[in-house]
Structure 1
Amino acid sequence: MTQQQETGCVLRLFGAQSTAVGKTVENFPPQWRAAARWKSRGAETLVALQAQSPSGLKKAAQALRQAFSADLYGAGETTLPAAVVEALERHDKLLICADAAAGALLEARLENLPGAEKVFDFGAVSYANPKTGPLIEKRARARLPKDCTDPLRQALARAQAARRVVGADLSAACAERESDCVLVLSCRKGCFLRTVPAGENPALWLLDIIRRTAANKPQAEGTGFLPARRAAKKDVLPSPQPRRHPLRRVCMTLLVLALLAALAAVGAWKYTNGNFYALPEQLRALLTEHVPRPGATLV
């Protein structure tokens, strides 16, 4: 049993590309005598390492930890929710939910974990509170245009309002749409956003965004960020502007050139009294009129 623990281990990743894991394993030096097998389910990847010596196992594990430092959330039997609670507790962060949709994603996965009540309110002081909940909605509506029905804008406004009302470090919200949902996590620097298709697991993605934010680690590819200044504006998600057709620009340029040519022709007509053939001679005389002749003295 002891020998097996020394020569094998399991690393858990979330958000890492399976092809990237394969390339890292291929680069293991032969002297490590280490091998790896990995399996992905959705965005989660489990990597089983085996080595013929403890030193080789240590070097192989360290190589994976360095290559996937932000994606690695634990080893052995560690779960992603447990890693989230550990990250929040270690960095002294308080997490709340701004709406029931986000609460449904997180509460069931965190409720039985030791220490979760220290870093997560389970809605007690946020959206589910009889006094705080309506206040969050009121503050959120004040940040939006009166006719706004976009669920993403509403979730974004709720997440920011809830974080300020409660005084929490992190505030999660979820915009549910027909074919997907958009996860929102508000922090002091701004808001992280990620669109999750209906077939994927939004709860795990939200947990991973929280874990990375609490530990100040880079987000997974595909997770966007909205700085605090932009997130505070009512028109934070402007509708796309109509694209100008390139042919219109060409026509406008040609029209301007034609107008300039017409003005030049009118000026030449007046300058030569209608005799265009005399224009070159008159221009030559105009240019040489003030040129000093040889032997002349400048005054």
Structure 2
Amino acid sequence: MTNKEERPAGCVLRLFGAPEQTVQKAVEALPDTWQGTVHCRSRGAETLVALQSSTPQQLHRAVQQLRTSLALALYGEGEQTLAAAAVQALEQHRKLLVCSDTAAGALLETRLENLPGAEKVFDFGAMSYANTALTARLSRKLRKAPQAEPARTLARVQVMQKLTGAALTVGCVELPQSRLLLVGGKKGCWLRCLASDENPGLWLLDMLRRAACGLPQAGGTNWQPYGRAVPDAALTPASLTAEQSASPRPKRRRLGKALVVLLLLALAALAAGWYYTGGDLAALPQKLQSLGAESLPHAGARLV
């Protein structure tokens, strides 16, 4: 009887929206007792982390540690797709999804149409952008809305959310040399501006997954309340924004802080003197002298 050789245990973690430095730091933080191998492969914003170990116990401990440190970006394991993870999150948290325009619908329809359970969380346009009666109501509601983009798409998302009662409403607008994705709730939208070489469908799925689970969005995604102007920073592709925000900020000098404190103390003393003398600051020395004299014991007084 021969003993069978024990096969190495392996696992693949799937991440989206995690910076390369974050993944590398999490892998380097594995304990010294880890004797397995880790291979990372990135394509766009998606990263696969493949782990292999000689023992299942050691693999389990390493996977659990990476799950914890990369929890926000982790959407699945093995062969699970980001689309399946988004549908699962929407279904688990009972979130209904609609699109406010055909551009957003085109990004999602082809990715969700063959997934089990997708029809429970996504209307595929039947009750939203592909519904003639509802789009007519939408047009009437948008008569007074701004005509310029992206303010009009933001208003469209808000109105569609109110008309359908959906938990999440998606919008998409083409900008010069970029594309803006919107995932709206009741009070506002998450905005993400993408460069032309980024995958808008995958980014939209990850934004939906995080929104459904109540997780923070990936870095570079902005929150925009309804009724407010979209800042220019939100219309810059997030990859460029990340590079600009990495530049060091000038340090404030302690001397400047000390001067501010001294100035405030001087103003406080001046205000106290003004109040004590009734506005006659010239009489302040005499007032202080008389105050000191009154505090001394008079002749013939007995100290107790």
Q: TM-score, normalised by structure 1?
A: 0.74
Query: Aligned equivalents of 1:2 and 1:95: distance in 2?
Result: 49
Question: Secondary structure of the equivalent of 1:131?
Answer: helix
Maintained 8 Å contact 2:183/2:190: yes
Find the counterpart in structure 2 of residue 245 from structure 1. Answer: none
Question: Secondary structure of the equivalent of 1:65?
Answer: helix
Alignment: residue pair count: 242
Find the counterpart in structure 2 of residue 253 from structure 1. Answer: none
The structure number with the bigger radius of gyration is: 1
Query: Aligned equivalents of 1:45 and 1:239: distance in 2?
Result: 29
Maintained 8 Å contact 2:15/2:75: yes
Distance apart, 1:139 and its partner CA: 2.2
Query: Aligned equivalents of 2:165 and 2:183: distance in 1?
Result: 14
Specify the code of the residue in structure 1 equivalent to 2:107.
L
Specify the code of the residue in structure 1 equivalent to 2:9.
T
Q: Is structure 2 residue 229 aligned with structure 1 residue 236?
A: yes
Residues 124-151 of structure 1 deviation map (CA, whole Å, 9 limit, x = unaligned) = 0001101011222332344x2xxx3322
Find the counterpart in structure 1 of residue 35 from structure 2. Answer: 33
Query: Aligned equivalents of 2:27 and 2:231: distance in 1?
Result: 44
Find the counterpart in structure 1 of residue 179 from structure 2. Answer: 181
Residues 9-56 of structure 1 deviation map (CA, whole Å, 9 limit, x = unaligned) = 101000011222112111211213232101100000001001121111
Residues 184-239 of structure 1 deviation map (CA, whole Å, 9 limit, x = unaligned) = 0111342100001111111111110000000111110000012xxx41x2x43378
Call closer, same or farther: CA 1:135–1:9 in 2, change over 3 Å.
Answer: same
Q: Give the aligned CA root-mean-square deviation in angstroms.
A: 2.8
Distance apart, 1:168 and its partner CA: 0.6
Find the counterpart in structure 1 of residue 117 from structure 2. Answer: 115
Specify the code of the residue in structure 2 equivalent to 1:138.
R
1:87 to 86, 89, 92: 89
Maintained 8 Å contact 2:183/2:207: yes
Find the counterpart in structure 2 of residue 196 from structure 1. Answer: 194
Distance apart, 1:93 and its partner CA: 0.7
Question: Secondary structure of the equivalent of 1:49?
Answer: strand
Residues 73-100 of structure 1 deviation map (CA, whole Å, 9 limit, x = unaligned) = 0000000001111111111110000001
Question: Secondary structure of the equivalent of 2:60?
Answer: helix
Find the counterpart in structure 1 of residue 203 from structure 2. Answer: 205
Call closer, same or farther: CA 1:112–1:239 in 2, change over 3 Å.
Answer: closer
Q: Is structure 2 residue 1 aligned with structure 1 residue 22?
A: no
Q: Percent identity?
A: 47
Find the counterpart in structure 2 of residue 100 from structure 1. Answer: 102
Query: Aligned equivalents of 2:46 and 2:76: distance in 1?
Result: 12
Q: Which runs of 5+ in 2 are unaligned?
A: 234-280, 294-304
Query: Aligned equivalents of 1:49 and 1:127: distance in 2?
Result: 43
1:135 to 134, 137, 141: 137
Query: Aligned equivalents of 1:141 and 1:56: distance in 2?
Result: 62
2:167 to 165, 169, 178: 169
Specify the code of the residue in structure 2 equivalent to 1:110.
L
Maintained 8 Å contact 1:127/1:136: no
Maintained 8 Å contact 1:185/1:192: yes
Maintained 8 Å contact 2:158/2:186: no
Q: Which runs of 4+ in 1 moved over 4 A?
A: 1-4
2:58 to 32, 41, 56: 56
